[in-house]
Structure 1
Amino acid sequence: MAAPRSVVVEAGCWVLDRDVEKNADSPSEKKLKADRFPLSRWEFAAALGVFLVFSTGLVCIYLTMPTAEYELLKLPRTISDLRSLKDHLAIYAQLHPAKFILGYCSTYIFMQTFMIPGTIFMSLLAGALFGVVRGLFLVVFNATAGASSCYFLSKLIGRPIVNWLWPEKLRYFQAEIAKRREKLLNYMLFLRVTPTLPNLFINLASPIVDIPFHIFFFATVVGLIPASYITVRAGIALGELKSLKDLYDLKTLVLLFLIGSILLLPTILKRKRVYE
């Protein structure tokens, strides 16, 4: 006697569901999910819109510069490129200081906002062209403005990107922030001063783990000063610099961690009193 049709259909659906579940757990399916672009259509449209607004402003600024200078403007990727760019721009910076600073600041903030590598060369260039005091002010101002812009961009569309790129690092960061809520500023200063976590990750992950903007902003302004000072001073002696590895030798790293540890000391002492 044949089984009822409904039973056959249900059995077939059950087998199909099992096959779907099995395929969903397969390594190839997991890899497909991992490689899938994290942004939705609307999130991508918002990111593209912000990028186009920034790009349009940057292009408008460059159009105000003398035509002869266009061929000299390119992002340096090596120390050799940076020396050549510095030689070309030194005279232009003296003749048109306002236009140069506007173009410099716009480029730096644009790169920092959209996580474009190369801002360290911009910091070296500031030292080479403006000296320690003005160069340090320019670098800290632009780095803070770019980091703040990146913070708000991440608040808009950053969660899926950070979850996609650094899921484990984000969980670690979230746990550390939860443990240090009462002394959050000290911890953020420690992170900014030391190379414990990349600045790019801090900029993107901070709004996701609910770090208030005023703490993020103040920690960025103050915390970036030591590393920026080292970079700007290296820019003054650009001719002696062989590679970026020379910027942060063991002595420099130990000094940065020492400064960071001093900033973190109030948090450590408070936790010790609680356990006592």
Structure 2
Amino acid sequence: MSMREAIAAYVHDGDTVSLEGFTHLIPTAAGHEIIRQGRRNLTVVRMTADIVVDQMLAGGCVSKLVSSFVGNSSAGSLGELRRRIEHKVPEPLEFEEYSHYGMVCRYLAGAQRLPFYPLRSYAGSGLTSVNDGIRKVVSPYPAPDGGEEHVYVVPPVNPDVTIVHAQRADRAGNTQIWGLTGIQAEAVFAAERAVVVVEEIVDDEVVRSDPNRTVIPAHAVDAVVVCPRGAHPSFAQGYYDRDNAFYRAWSHISKDSARLRGWLAEWVYGTRDHEEYVARLGEAFWADLAVGDAWSLPVNYGRRL
């Protein structure tokens, strides 16, 4: 599908939408299309809420955020998110906060259709006082000393739709990722619907030649969208580098509400699609983000003679 078709078909007002990609392969172009189509009252689930979430907030798309980290990826703050949480301007944002691993466990529980997932890392944490979704249960097994053991648990998350970005897929949706991976596969399996955005579609033989890179199998995918450079300003290993200048600039853009809305007017509402966004930046800009070759050595998987 085109990005426009996929968002129209699979993202609806009031949905819970997961956007995953950890520093790498962030589905920014999908977030922009959600803004263009004017989706409202979304619950956004993203382990590391960053620039794309800030932009969707400014676009009026998000009423609730579920996340474990909010910030401009080591380059500063998210101005729109801070206005919503700290000052309730222009309206309040419901924020449900977990740790990184707490979010991982929520996806694991959702993907496996479990009622909860146990973890130890909340012992002594202040998060339990601000999030009543983090609870404590008695282990059904005795502790080493024979007594009761109490374990923290988190609930599953089952998004209406998960959207991820990846390097490549075949036409069936077998999706391959390399480099820095996150929780994409679990987020896809946890969801009712899944949209995979890729840098390119490749022939079946390419995927079959290196099956261990297939992180998401076709049967879990509802739509494949080809969108080159669709992760900008994040990076796609082997395709283009991270746009660090944009990350640094974003803190200044988002700090000023009027300037942020001006940016949206020019770069999101003012472009028909991501292809126009890419073209407007210009080839000289993309040449600065070009990456050199670093080929992996061949692997002999072997076959019957």
TM-score range, shorter chain: under 0.3
Q: Who wins on radius of gyration, i.e. which is larger?
A: 1
Taking structure 2 as the reference length, what is the TM-score of the superposition? 0.24
**Could you say which structure has the higher helix fraction?**
1
**Could you say which structure has the higher strand fraction?**
2
